[in-house]
């Protein structure tokens, strides 16, 4: 059995710290909640420092399994009541397990844009410009892993890809897909061009359909938010603007849906 301490007070310093991490006030750490997501975190190479487990989850089969996995991480483990676990949880119906991990270190763009060791990944990168919905951001990261994209780059004034909501939406993909934060549009476009990477904006008024693009060319895809899209000055800086043709009066698709449509078309090109 995994050695643990029991916490009985809501005002315990460890629980207060967990709430600060949950609320984004401890920027060097991330808050991981839920059985499946915690398993993904433990099986990845990220640093897990602390585990909080409710009495109910502790006695369950998934709890026993996760305790065994946690032994390899050297994380501190604390047993709490179900109500105390609820006091730090980010969800309305917590599953009884919360981990605190170290925020993954950000990669430099030169490293991220390298195509020397792509293995079976596509030379395709995603840039998200001022995406403020954390669930959409996490879903894009999950789609990027599923399709085989190289990484996701996030602009300033965007949601945090490692916030609790983003992590849950990514279903663990954020632990594996490189996600670089706070990179301005001018810098990312310049870095891409220096590496010979074509830049394309996905825009409802684009010049050509995504179906007419040669996706075997290394490309950086730029997406804007569903609410505001991409500003004219951003659209003017990219090499091409592409669109997803739609029927009826539909103006736009969900960000994660748009990303999936284009990424899996790209994947089809590489498999043909």
Q: What total number of domains does the chain contain?
A: 2
Picking from 38, 69, 102, the residue at the C-terminal end of a domain is: 102
- Do 24 and 73 belong to one domain? yes
- Do 12 and 54 belong to one domain? yes
- Do 208 and 163 belong to one domain? yes
Q: Examine the pLDDT at 1 and tell me if it is beyond 50.
A: no
Which pLDDT value is given to residue 105? 86
- Do 125 and 227 belong to one domain? yes
Retrieve residue 249's tokens.
């009066």
- Do 56 and 147 belong to one domain? no
- Do 56 and 113 belong to one domain? no
Per-residue confidence at 3, pLDDT binned at 50, 70, 90?
Answer: low
Q: Examine the pLDDT at 199 and tell me if it is beyond 90.
A: yes
Q: Which domain holds residue 133?
A: 109-271
Q: What number is the average pLDDT over the span 148-155?
A: 95
Which pLDDT value is given to residue 19? 98
- Do 130 and 56 belong to one domain? no
**C-alpha distances in Å from residue 80, one per residue of 18, 47, 97, 100:** 13, 22, 10, 15
Q: Which of 47-51, 115-119, 150-154, 220-224 has the lowest mean pLDDT?
A: 115-119
What are the tens digits of pLDDT across the range 230-271? 889 999 999 999 999 988 777 778 899 999 999 999 998 887
C-alpha–C-alpha distance, residues 141 and 135, integer Å: 10
Retrieve residue 272's tokens.
């043909």
Which pLDDT value is given to residue 272? 66
DSSP letters spanning the chain: ----EE---TT-HHHHHHHHHHTT--TTEEEEESHHHHHHHHHSSS-EEEEEEEHHHHTSHHHHHHHHHHGGGT-EEEEE-HHHHHHH-SSSS--SEEEEEEPPPPPPHHHHT--TT-TT--SEEEEEES---HHHHHHHHHHHHHHT-SEEEE-TTS--TTSHHHHHHHTTGGGTS-EE-S--HHHHHHHHHHTT-EEEEE-TT-SEEGGGS-TTS-EEEEEEBTTTB--HHHHTTSSEEEE----TT-----HHHHHHHHHHHHHHHHH-
Picking from 75, 102, 129, the residue at the C-terminal end of a domain is: 102
What are the tens digits of pLDDT across the range 76-126? 999 999 999 999 999 999 999 999 999 988 888 888 987 665 556 789 999
C-alpha–C-alpha distance, residues 49 and 272, integer Å: 44
Residue 216's domain is classified under what CATH number?
3.40.1280.10
- Do 250 and 123 belong to one domain? yes
- Do 96 and 146 belong to one domain? no
Contact partners, residue 16, CB within 8 Å, separation at least 6: none
What are the tens digits of pLDDT across the range 161-186? 999 999 999 999 999 999 899 999 99
- Do 127 and 170 belong to one domain? yes
Mean pLDDT of the chain: 91
- Do 45 and 115 belong to one domain? no
Retrieve residue 175's tokens.
């632990």
Residues of the chain with pLDDT > 90, as a percent, come to: 73
Residue 32's domain is classified under what CATH number?
3.30.1330.30
C-alpha–C-alpha distance, residues 174 and 166, integer Å: 8
Picking from 46, 77, 102, the residue at the C-terminal end of a domain is: 102
- Do 170 and 113 belong to one domain? yes
Q: What number is the average pLDDT over the span 194-205?
A: 93
Q: Which of 23-27, 69-73, 232-236, 268-272 has the lowest mean pLDDT?
A: 268-272
Q: Examine the pLDDT at 25 and tell me if it is beyond 50.
A: yes
Q: What number is the average pLDDT over the span 8-24?
A: 97
């Amino acid at each position: 059995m995994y050695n643990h301490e029991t916490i009985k007070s809501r005002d315990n310093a460890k629980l207060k710290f967990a709430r600060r991490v949950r609320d984004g006030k401890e920027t060097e750490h991330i808050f991981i909640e839920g059985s499946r997501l915690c398993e993904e975190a433990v099986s990845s190479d990220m640093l897990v420092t602390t585990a909080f487990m409710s009495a109910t989850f502790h006695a369950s089969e998934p709890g026993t399994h996760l305790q065994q996995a946690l032994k390899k991480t050297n994380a501190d483990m604390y047993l709490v009541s179900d109500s105390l676990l609820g006091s730090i949880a980010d969800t309305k119906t917590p599953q009884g397990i919360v981990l605190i991990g170290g925020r993954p270190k950000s990669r430099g763009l030169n490293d991220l844009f390298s195509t020397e060791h792509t293995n079976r990944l596509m030379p395709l990168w995603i840039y998200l410009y001022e995406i403020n919905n954390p669930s959409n951001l996490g879903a894009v990261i999950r789609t990027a892993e599923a399709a085989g994209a190289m990484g996701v780059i996030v602009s300033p004034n965007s949601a945090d890809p490692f916030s609790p909501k983003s992590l849950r939406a990514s279903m663990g993909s954020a632990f594996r897909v490189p996600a670089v934060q706070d990179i301005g549009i001018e810098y990312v476009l310049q870095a891409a061009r220096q590496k010979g990477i074509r830049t394309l904006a996905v825009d409802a008024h684009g010049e050509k359909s995504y179906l007419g693009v040669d996706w075997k060319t290394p490309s950086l895809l730029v997406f804007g938010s569903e609410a505001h899209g991409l500003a004219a000055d951003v659209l003017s800086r990219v090499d091409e603007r592409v669109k997803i043709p739609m029927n009826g009066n539909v103006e736009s698709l969900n960000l994660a849906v748009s990303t999936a449509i284009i990424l899996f078309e790209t994947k089809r090109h590489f498999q043909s």
